[in-house]
A and B are shown apart, each in its own frame.
Chain A
Amino acid sequence: MANKDNKQVKTDNRAKTLKFFSIWSVIILIAIVLLANILFDGLLGKALTFDFSMSGNNSISQESVDFINSLPDDSNIRIIGLLEKPENLANSPYQYIVPLLDDYQAKSGGRITVEYIDPEKYPSIINQLDPQGLNDLTAGNYVVAYNNNLKVISPYDCFAYDSSQTTSYSMVPTANNVEYTFTNAILQLSRGTTFKAYIVTGLREEGSVYLTSILESIGCSVQELPVSDNFTVPEDCDLLIVNGPNTDISETMYVAMENYLYNGGDMIVAVNYSADNVTEKFTNLNNVLHYVSLNIDDSVIRENNASYQLESSGFNSLATLNSQILSVNEDMQNFTQFKSSFARPVRDFGTPHSYIEVYPVISTSDNAMAVRTDENGQTTDYENEGTYNVAMYGTFDGMADPPEVMVFGTTNFTSDTYISNFGFNDSNIEFLRATIRMLLGTDDSDALQITSKPLDDYSIDQTKATGSAQTTVLIVFMIVIPLGLIIAAAVVYNRRKNL
C-alpha cells in the first residue's frame, strides 16, 4: 500500500479505544456473571432458598391453638416420637410432622411437650409408657400421652392417599392430615369417649378406616361387629353402621337389628351399586329398613341432566340436599350439593304406620332415571324419568327415644376410597359428620374443624366441574378466545391495509 497519493492512514485511536473497551467490557461482564453465579450458588444458594410450600403445612391453625388453650393450664400433654429426631426431612412423611409438632409445643403455652426417644437406644421407654403392652409402640410411631391415656399415631395415618395410584410399592399422598390427627387425638384423650359405635363387618365390604377416624373425632369409641350365627347388637350400642356391604345380612342379623331399632337404636346404612353387588337385592337388609318404611332398590340412578353430570355417563353426578330434612335438622342448611356415584335409589316403602315419618334427604334432578344392568353389563332403562332419592331418613313421631335411620344409596359418604380421595373437608364428609351428630343427638359446639392441607392435591370441586362446565371450558378456551384473536387479527389487518 505504499502509494504516494494514499499514504497509509492510521486508524483513529479513539475508535481503537472504543473497540478495546467494547470487547473487554463484554469479556469482563461474562467473567463477573459466571463467577458471581458460581460463588452465589455455592455459598448462598442454600441460604437463599425459601421454602414457602412448608409454611402452611408447618404451622397449626387457630382452631387447634384455641382448643389447646381451652385445656387446663396445668395440663401435661406429652407427644413422644419413638425415634431420633430426624434431621433430613426431605421426601419422608416426617417433613410435615416434625416441624408441625414443634409448632404445637411453641403455641401450647407449656401444655404440650414434644420429645424424641429412640426405643432401640432406650428400650425402657416402651415399658414406661405402656406397662400392659396394649398399644403398638413400634419404632417410628408417635405416642400422645395425656390423662393417663395413650394414643398411638403412625406417620402413615397422618396422610390421605390417592387410592387410584396406590400400588403395593408406592403410596401417593394427596392430603396432609397431620394436624387433624394430632389435635383430634388430644381431643379424645381430654374428653374421653361418650358414645359407642359399632361397624358391621364381614359383608365383603371395603373397610372403614377413615369412617372410624371420623367417628372417633366426634367422641365415639368404635368397635367392629363381625357377622356371626349368633349375631346380636350389644347393649351399649349408640350407633350401628352398615358400611358398603356387598352381600346381604342373614335372617338372624335382620331380627337382631330390627330388635335394636325397636329399642330406639340409631343406624346408618350405606349401600351402592357396584360390580360386586349388581345381583344383590339386600332383601334382609331391606326388611330391617322397612321398619322405618325405607327401601333400597336393586337398580342404579343415572342422571340425565348435563349440568348435574360429573362424567358424561351420568352415573357420577351431583345430588342436591332436599329441603324437607331441614324440618328435622336445621344445621343441614349449610349444605347444598353432594357428589353421588353409582347410587341405588332409596324410597319410601310405604309401611302403613302413621307414626313413621320419612324424609328425603338428598335427591337427584328431575331428569334422573333408574337403570339396571343385565348379566352382560348392558344397561336397560327401567323406570321413567323423574326425581330419585340418594339418601333418606326415617324415624318415629311422638316417641321419647325413637329409632333413627339414615340410608345412603351411595358409598360416597362413608367409603375409604372416597374419603382418601377427597379428604376430610369434602362436603360429603362434612354431611356425614352432621348426620352422625344428628343421630347421636350431640351438637357440634365442641367439635373441631381441622382442615386437611393439600399436598399434591390438585382436585377441583367436582360439584363445579360438571359436564356442562367442562364443555364451557373447552369452548371458551380452545375455540372462542383463539378464534376471537384470529378475527381481531383479520379485522386489524384489513382495516390497516387500506389506510
Chain B
Amino acid sequence: MIEINNLVKHYGDKKAVNGISFTVNDDEVLGFLGPNGAGKSTTMNIITGYLSSTSGTVKVNGHDILEEPELAKRDIGYLPELPPLYLDMTVLEYLNFICDVKGVKKSERKEHLAKVISMVKITDVADRLIGNLSKGYKQRVGIAQAIVGDPKILILDEPTVGLDPNQILEIRKLIKTLAKSHSVIISSHILSEIQAVADRVVIINKGKVAAIDTISDLSKRLSGSSKLLLSFKGPVKEVCSKIHSVPGVVNVSQRISDGDIHEIELTIDNNSASDVRASIFFAMAKSGWPILEFRSLDPSLEEIFLSITSKG
C-alpha cells in the first residue's frame, strides 16, 4: 500500500508536481491518467525514489521513501518510461543481474526466473541480446525486470507507448494477470488504456489531481453527454436544422465542408430515452441525404477534465 501526501516538486520556478495526494490499496490497479507533461513521470519517479520531492511524503507499506529508502524500494518494481536495459547483455544475463541487485536468493533464482520469463512470454528470446530485440520484447523484458524479486507494488510508466495494437493487447493481458497478486500503478495519457485495466483512476493535470474515481463512476460521469460525427452529402443548413429537431440532440456545429460533402459535430444528451442515432439515420434517409460516415467521437483529455471539473 502506498500513501502519497501533498507531493510537490519544483524545477526552479516550474512546478512539475503541485500538491498531489492519493493512496494505492493492496491488490488494486490504479490508473494514472494525464496528458503529456502533466507530471505523471515525475510523480512516479518520486514514488520510486529516483527523484527527490520538494515537499510531501511517500510511504510504501509504511516505510518513508526518504527515510527508509532501502526498505521502501524492496517492495517496489519499477518500469520507467525508458526501460533500464543493458543492450549489451542477453535477456538471461540481464535478469540474473537484476536478481543479484534485488537480492533474490541463489537457491530460488532458477525457479523464479523461469516463472518470470514464462509470465512475460520471453522464453524464446531468453538467450538473445537485448539490443537486438524488437520494441515489444524490450518492453516485456522491462516488465520482467520490474517483477523480478516479487515486489508487492508494480509501477509501470506508459508500458504500452510505441507498441503495435497486438503488443498492446498482450501487455494489457499481462498487466491483468499481474494485478491478481500485486498492487499496480499504471500511467497513460490514453483513457481507453486505463479503462481497460484499472480499478481506480487518478487524473492529473498541470501537476494537480483533477479527479480520483473508480472506473465505473468515471464512465458514468463521462457518459453525461457524448459527441457524434456525421459526414453527409446535402445542403448544410437544412440538415443542421433537421437534426437539431431530433429529440436528444443538444447542439450541432459544422466542422468541415468540401464541395457538397459536409462534416458536422453533434452533442447528444445521453439521458434521452430513445436512441438518438437511429432517429438521425431515419431522418436523413427520409430526406434522401446519404450518410457517408457516422461515428462517435472519443473525448479528448482536455474535454474530460472540463467535464469532470465542471460537474465536480
Which residues does A use to contact B, with CB under 8 Å? 1, 6, 9-12, 14-15, 18, 496-499
Which of B7-15, B72-80, B151-159 is the contact stretch? B7-15
| CA–CA, A1 and B67, complex, Å | 30
Does B253 reach chain A (CB closer than 8 Å)?
Answer: no
Task: Give per-residue flags for B18-41: 1 if the beta carbon is below 8 A from chain A beta carbons, else 0.
Answer: 110000000000000000000000
Chain A: CB-nearest residue to B53:
A12
Checking B54, B56, B66, B129 against A499 with a beta-carbon cut-off of 8 angstroms, the contacting residue is B129
Please indicate the chain B residues that have their CB under 8 angstroms from the CB of A15 in the complex.
52-54, 66
Q: Are A12 and B129 in contact (CB under 8 A)?
A: no
Residue from B18, B55, B90, B127 within 8 A of A11 (CB atoms): B55
- Contact between chains at B15 and A6 (CB < 8 Å): yes
Would you call B54 and A9 a contact (CB within 8 A)?
yes
B55 contacts which chain A residues (CB < 8 A)? 9-12
What separation, in Å, do the CA atoms of A9 and B88 have in the docked complex?
43
B128 part of interface (Cβ distance < 8 Å) = yes
Give, as a whole number of angstroms, the nearest-CB distance from B127 to chain A. Answer: 7
* A496–B90 alpha-carbon span in the complex (Å): 9
Task: Using known A-B contacts A9-B55, A11-B55, determine if residue A499 contacts B13 with beta carbons closer than 8 Å.
Answer: no
Mask, B78-98, CB within 8 Å of A = 1, is 000000000010100000000
- Indicate whether B123 reaches chain A with its CB closer than 8 angstroms: no
Once bound together, how far apart are the Cα atoms of A497 and B132, in whole Å? 8
**Complex: chain B residue closest to A10, CB-CB:** B55
Chain B residues contacting A11 (CB-CB under 8 Å) are 54-55
Docked-complex contact B54 and A12, CB < 8 angstroms: yes
Contact A499 B15 (CB under 8 A): no
What chain B residues lie within 8 Å of A496 (beta carbons)? 88, 129
Q: A1-B13, A12-B54 are in contact. Are A499 and B18 (CB under 8 A)?
A: no
- A486–B132 CA distance with the chains assembled, in angstroms: 24
Given A9-B54, A12-B54, A14-B66: 9 more A-B contacts, CB < 8 Å: A6-B15, A9-B19, A9-B55, A11-B55, A12-B55, A12-B56, A12-B66, A499-B90, A499-B128
Q: Closest CB of chain A to B172's CB: distance in Å? A: 29
B132 touches A499 (CB 8 A): yes
When chains A and B are docked, how far (Å) is the Cα of A288 from the Cα of B127? 86
Query: Could you tell me if A14 and B67 are in contact, using CB atoms closer than 8 angstroms?
Result: yes
B284 to chain A, nearest CB (A): 48
Whether the pair A6, B127 counts as a contact (CB closer than 8 A) is no
Q: In whole angstroms, what is the CA distance A10 to B10 when docked?
A: 11
Distance in angstroms from A21 CB to nearest chain B CB is 13
Alpha-carbon gap, A10 to B53, bound state (A): 11
CA distance A175 to B15 in the complex (A): 77
Q: List A contacts of B132 (CB < 8 A).
A: 498-499
* A9 touching B53, Cβ below 8 Å: no
Residue from B10, B55, B90, B128 whose CB has the most chain A CB atoms within 10 Å: B55
* Chain B residues, Cβ within 8 Å of A10: 55
Alpha-carbon distance between A14 and B88 when the two chains are bound, in angstroms:
39
Q: Which residues from chain B contact A497 at a C-beta distance below 8 Å? A: 129
Complex: chain A residue closest to B127, CB-CB = A499
Q: How distant is the Cα of A12 from the Cα of B67 in the complex, in angstroms? A: 12
In angstroms, Cα B130 to Cα A496, docked, is 11
Chain A residues near B13: list those with CB within 8 A.
1
Chain B residues whose C-beta falls within 8 Å of the C-beta of A6 in the assembled complex: 15, 18
Q: List 25 A-B contacts (CB under 8 A).
A: A6-B15, A9-B8, A9-B10, A9-B19, A9-B54, A9-B55, A10-B55, A11-B54, A11-B55, A12-B53, A12-B54, A12-B55, A12-B56, A12-B66, A14-B67, A15-B52, A18-B66, A496-B88, A496-B129, A497-B129, A498-B132, A499-B90, A499-B127, A499-B129, A499-B132
For B10, list chain A residues within 8 Å (CB): 9
Residues of A contacting B19 in the complex (Cβ-Cβ under 8 angstroms): 9
Chain A nearest CB from B49 CB (Å) reads 13
Q: Could you say which residues of chain A place their CB within 8 Å of the CB of B90? A: 499
Q: How far is the CA of A347 from the CA of B215 in the complex (A)?
A: 113
Complex: how many Å from CA A499 to CA B127? 7
Separation of A1 and B66 alpha carbons in the complex (Å): 27
Q: Scan residues 147-191 of chain B and give those whose CB is less than 8 A from a CB of chain A.
A: none
In the complex, what distance in Å separates the CA atom of A9 from the CA atom of B55? Answer: 7
Contacts of B88 in A (CB 8 A): 496
**How many angstroms between the C-alpha atoms of A211 and B157 in the bound complex?**
88
Contacts of B15 in A (CB 8 A): 6
Closest A residue by C-beta to B67: A14
Output the nearest chain A residue to B6 by Cβ-Cβ distance.
A9
Which of A1, A9, A14 has the most B CB atoms < 10 Å from its CB?
A9
Roughly how many angstroms separate A18 CA and B90 CA in the complex, as a whole number? 38
User: Which 7 residue pairs of A and B lie closest in terms of their CB atoms, listed nearest first?
Assistant: A499-B129, A12-B55, A9-B8, A499-B128, A9-B55, A14-B66, A11-B54
Find chain A residues with CB under 8 A from B127 CB.
499
Residues on the A chain within 8 Å of B18, using CB = 6
- Residues from chain A with Cβ under 8 Å of B8 in the complex: 9
Chain B residue with minimal CB distance to A499?
B129
With CB as the reference atom, state the residue of chain B lying closest to A18.
B66
Chain A residues with CB under 8 A of B52? 15
Residues of B within 8 A of A14 (CB): 66-67
Give the residue among A10, A11, A499 with the most B Cβ atoms within 10 A.
A499
Q: A6 vs B9: C-alpha distance in the bound complex, in angstroms?
A: 12
Report the separation of the CA atoms of residues A6 and B53 in the bound assembly, to the nearest whole angstrom. 16
- Nearest residue (CB) in A for B91 is A499
Residue of B with least CB distance to A11 = B54
